[in-house]
Structure 1
């Protein structure tokens, strides 16, 4: 018995206002999958309050707790997340982004927040320093 393609993404909507909606993704792993899934979630205007990732390099299981607008189109979000997930039957890389003939789009800007206790400030500084050295980041306090 196998996993149905539609079951690769499960969304359990929050029952009460203020609670988090749980998005569960279980599919074959690929490089950058977590980043792609986060991008789709953020583009829908949702905030990721918590996340958990498990992988063995071949298969991954991701859980996101998200908070957002009450009028979020959950069915469309599920469809977009499924488009990002590699197919269980596909052995080739999927090219699901823009075609080559379109001009490149300006990158999206997201707000990255870190919370840590005072005794972990050195760790946070080290993480942010290594990240900003590798990427173009606009930092403000």
Structure 2
């Protein structure tokens, strides 16, 4: 059997560990364990964590509630990466704690852009043309 050269999606283990890291980060953020001026009063959500295949790097996508000051918050979290790694390690029970890198989660923004596109007059006109039954 010939194998396709398509890149494989994340393995079950990558997904499971990513979810463990996500929960650990969410717990830390809820407790307010990180002391930084940029994080004072910020409610940060962690919609997704993507692990590398070797499980040594966790890319955490975060978004503050309301989306305000997202870049500043990501910078603050990246400044405290070593501390965060040390706090996450005992919560996930792995041989090696992954290095965590933080990024702004733009999926909500992208979804809004797609929604606006689908609601545009041009798309509505095309859909109305399809409804006339022309094949």
TM-score (norm 2): 0.26
Q: Which has the larger share of strand? A: 1
Which is higher, the Rg of structure 1 or of structure 2? 2
